A = this chain, B = another copy of it.
């Protein structure tokens, strides 16, 4: 774990990279305590603030955690799926909003991925997953629900669908795809008619999963994907028309 070919710039970045590499390679196992800041400062021949900047970089990625006190210090953090969800969602959301990704592209990706776990979900869904999906579908049918609340419930429904695959890796990968869509979905105004249709698809999906009918679930997801795209197209067409004259 060494740094610094006499390059007095980016020292904290170099130190962060050295520690990060050690963690990735397994050289620093989980829960291992790093040397104290003072020790590292001496070891790397830099000042303590520089070491601290490096540690903050790692902390921002949840690679380490710090603890004050006599037995405190910086420890290699066990990266948990729950911790990674947040970062994944933030990154996905920013990628979509900063790169002018079209609604169609994001929507296509989302439904392609969801359909990928439909067969697994049909096989493994538990009563819990089904109950969550039913509850969200019911909430979506409540009158007076704002568009935002409708979208939030939609996301919750689809997360349950994904989680029903009982594969944490899949859940993690799809969390970003599903949740990052929410800001885009919020641009759509859902009429009572369109809400009704969407809830119909949701119920049909839950039915298919309950019957462990993978093909049926896939078909309903495909139909929902097509309908969502259609809705969005209408919204954007109207918006463009209003803008142009």
A215 at the interface (CB under 8 A from B): no
CA distance in complex: A116, B222 (Å): 12
A24 at the interface (CB under 8 A from B): yes
Contact-size category for A: 35 or more
Contact of A53 (CB < 8 Å), options: B52, B165, B168: B52
- On whether the beta carbons of B170 and A109 are closer than 8 Å, the reply is yes
- On whether the beta carbons of A112 and B108 are closer than 8 Å, the reply is no
Q: Which B residues touch A91, using CB under 8 A?
A: 61, 79, 84, 87-88
A173 at the interface (CB under 8 A from B): yes
> Assembly of this chain: how many copies?
2
CA distance in complex: A7, B79 (Å): 27
A46 at the interface (CB under 8 A from B): no
Q: Which B residues touch A105, using CB under 8 A?
A: 167-169
CA distance in complex: A37, B184 (Å): 34
A41-80 vs B, CB cutoff 8 Å, 1 = contact: the mask equals: 0000000010011101111110100000000000000111
Closest residue of B by beta carbon distance from A77? B98
With A49-B49, A60-B61, A94-B23 known as contacts, the answer to whether A170 contacts B79 (CB < 8 A) is: no
- On whether the beta carbons of B78 and A169 are closer than 8 Å, the reply is no
A220 at the interface (CB under 8 A from B): no
A191 at the interface (CB under 8 A from B): no
- On whether the beta carbons of B23 and A109 are closer than 8 Å, the reply is no
Q: Which B residues touch A79, using CB under 8 A?
A: 91, 94-95, 98-99
CA distance in complex: A30, B58 (Å): 24
Closest residue of B by beta carbon distance from A108? B167
A16 at the interface (CB under 8 A from B): yes
Q: Which B residues touch A98, using CB under 8 A?
A: 30, 78-79
- On whether the beta carbons of B61 and A169 are closer than 8 Å, the reply is no
A236 at the interface (CB under 8 A from B): no
Q: Which B residues touch A90, using CB under 8 A?
A: 20, 24, 61
A205 at the interface (CB under 8 A from B): no
Residues of A within 8 A of B (CB): 12, 16, 20, 23-24, 26, 30, 49, 52-54, 56-61, 63, 78-81, 84, 87-88, 90-99, 101, 105-106, 108-110, 112-113, 115-117, 119-120, 165, 167-170, 172-174, 176-177
